[in-house]
């Protein structure tokens, strides 16, 4: 299967695209987000939260917090490794626990997590095409994540 490419023209459209994944996400799914600052990774994770029925008032504004945990249809863990070029060794056990846990994990700057990523994860690459345009490329890394890509493709 080929990666799925979608272009969005507003932050709302990026959130809506992410929210579509919500009903299909299951405990243990990992969504690995890569893309430069301002490409929409945080918008995307907030869309995932919406799709997982996280109460909106709980969803934090973009911040430099490494971990946010949200209750939803399936609990969502939002990791943001912005500040962490190199993973501090003392964080590794906690990160590994999140990545192996019964939540959905969405990680910004996921490349920095590379050695810890599970055998199957959904990669989402975001590129800035213009002020309000972003290109999102969805790639599976395993059967489960390709299934998510296929469902998203079929949803239009």
List residues binding Mg ion (CB under 5 A): 41-42, 108
Binding mask 93-122 for ligand ADP (x = CB under 6 A): ---------------x--------------
Is residue 29 near ligand ADP by the rule CB under 6 A? no
Stretch that binds ligand ADP, among 48-56, 93-101, 130-138, 146-154 (CB under 6 A): 130-138
| Least Å from the CB of residue 68 to Mg ion | 11
Q: Spell out a b/e string for 20-55, using b for 16 or more CB atoms within 10 Å of the CB, else e.
A: bbbeebeebbbbbbbbeeebbbbbbbbbbbbbbbbe
Site for ligand ADP in 33-92 (CB under 6 A): 35, 37-43, 62
| Least Å from the CB of residue 144 to ligand ADP | 25
Please tell me the distance from the alpha carbon of residue 55 to that of residue 33, in angstroms, as a whole number: 22
Q: If contact means CB under 5 to 8 A according to the sort of partner, which of ligand ADP, Mg ion, none does residue 10 touch?
A: ligand ADP
Nearer to ligand ADP, 65 or 132 (CB): 132
Q: Which residues are registered as beta bridge partners of 108? A: 33, 80
Q: If contact means CB under 5 to 8 A according to the sort of partner, which of ligand ADP, Mg ion, none does residue 140 touch?
A: none
For residue 136, what are the contacts with CB-CB under 8 A and spacing of at least 6?
A: 5, 6, 7, 8, 14, 17, 40, 44, 124, 125, 126, 127
CB atoms within 10 A of CB 15: 21
């Amino acid at each position: 299967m080929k990666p799925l490419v979608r272009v969005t023209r507003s932050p709302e459209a990026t959130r809506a695209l992410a929210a579509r994944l919500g009903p299909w996400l299951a405990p243990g799914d990992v969504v690995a987000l890569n893309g430069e600052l301002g490409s929409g990774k945080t918008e995307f994770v907030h869309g995932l939260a919406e799709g997982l029925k996280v109460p909106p008032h709980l969803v934090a504004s973009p911040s430099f917090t490494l971990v946010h945990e949200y209750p939803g249809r399936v609990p969502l863990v939002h990791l943001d490794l912005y500040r962490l070029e190199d993973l501090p060794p003392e964080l590794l056990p906690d990160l590994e626990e999140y990545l192996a846990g019964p939540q959905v994990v969405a990680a910004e700057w996921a490349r920095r997590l590379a050695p810890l990523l599970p055998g199957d994860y959904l990669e989402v690459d975001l590129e800035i095409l213009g002020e309000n345009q972003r290109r999102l490329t969805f790639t599976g890394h395993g059967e489960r994540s390709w299934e998510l890509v296929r469902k998203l493709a079929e949803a239009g």
